[in-house]
Amino acid sequence: MHWCDRILGIDSTTPNTGEMAEVLATRVAELPLADLVRGWREVATTRYRDFTLGTGQFRQFFNGLSRHHPERGLALIDAIVSEEPDDEIVALVTHEFLLPQLVLFHACQRFGVVARLEALSIKHERVRWLMGGLWHTIQASTHGSVQRRLFAIADKPAWDAWLAKDKGGQPPTAFQKLSVPDLARTWIDLMDRSAVERERDQNFTLWGQFEYALVRENPERALAMCDEIVQTESSPQMIALLAAGLFENLLPRHPCPMLDRIEARARANPRFRELLWGAWFSGLAPEVVARLKGVRQDVA
């Protein structure tokens, strides 16, 4: 059992319901900072297929903490930079939501937040380094004296130098040259990585750009890749991720040959059909929604 499950009192009998999610959210919020730092490390280093109810609850808590409770977010940042020895795990304070939300939602409205960040930058050199990763965020979302104060504690050269070193281990992959089976294997490898592993490799960012273009320029190839993934991947978490991402982006808004092909694949292949249960149909024409739901209903 994962540490995040144990600390929250989750076992095999714990139901995964909305009511239980509220109970678990309260338990996470009441944990001492030392346990939250440990939870941050666990979430940062857990691969996607190994996420559990507990790790998911911690991640959800971290994703909204600084927006809704800035003082608690500041306290957690202080604890992480003080106690966590691994720079890659600490860097997620900037890569993820914990530090950016303080700048985006509070810096210009709550001057106390800026003062706290200034104090933390004096206390921890690491905070100046982390703030350097938000240079463009500061530039785009703040102004006047707030912007000047934040720029003064943002060490962009230090962040850029560290980032170049951290992402420098893997050369960029020419995804467009890969076969469909190789693309499927690449998707599985990249999407299953932990947060730390994703940030370490520039190919994760490059894949997002490639996938965006693939869906629009060569949807047939993207559909074939989905087909290949469901044939080789058995993890429910990974199938759900595929359904809510690449597959959902392929769904046409209006009836067209692509809809015919998706419908035919779903009727013929139970594993492919699972994707229809994990995709949102919002924004699609009523006829398209009816046909997709009809496939699910006919074979359920």
Q: What is the mean pLDDT of residues 169-193?
A: 94
- Residue 12 has φ and ψ, to the nearest 5°, of -65, -15
Residue 165's pLDDT is 86
Q: Does 92 score more than 70 pLDDT?
A: yes
Q: Give yes or no for a contact between 280 and 248, defined as CB atoms under 8 angstroms apart.
A: yes
Taking every pair of C-alpha atoms in the chain, what is the biggest distance, in angstroms? 64
Q: Does 299 score more than 60 pLDDT?
A: no
Distance CA 3, CA 204 (A): 27
Residue type, 200: R
- Residue 191 has φ and ψ, to the nearest 5°, of -70, -25
Distance CA 39, CA 28 (A): 9
Residue 221's pLDDT is 97
Residue 10's pLDDT is 97
Residue 169's pLDDT is 67
Q: What is the mean pLDDT of residues 82-110?
A: 96
Mean pLDDT across the chain: 95
Helix residue ranges, H only, 30-69? 33-45, 53-68
Q: What share of the chain is helix, strand, coil (3-state, %, to 5)?
A: 75, 0, 25
Q: What is the mean pLDDT of residues 178-195?
A: 97
Sign of the Cα pseudo-torsion (227, 229, 232, 234, in order): negative
Residue type, 148: R
Q: Give yes or no for a contact between 71 and 33, defined as CB atoms under 8 angstroms apart.
A: no
Q: Does 300 score more than 60 pLDDT?
A: no
Residue 168's pLDDT is 67
Q: What is the pLDDT of residues 109-166, one digit of tens each?
A: 988 999 999 999 999 999 999 999 999 999 999 999 999 999 999 999 999 999 988 7
Give the residue from 188, 220, 218 showing the smallest Cα distance to 204. Answer: 188
Residue 151's pLDDT is 98
Residue 86's pLDDT is 97
Tokens of 208: 């997002």
**Per-residue confidence at 1, pLDDT binned at 50, 70, 90?**
confident
Q: What is the DSSP string of 247-277?
A: IHHH--SS--HHHHHHHHHHHH-HHHHTHHH
Residue 297's pLDDT is 78
Distance CA 191, CA 245 (A): 11
- Residue 228 has φ and ψ, to the nearest 5°, of -65, -40
Distance CA 69, CA 92 (A): 18
Q: What is the pLDDT of residues 238-256, one digit of tens each?
A: 999 999 999 999 999 999 9
Tokens of 19: 């009511």
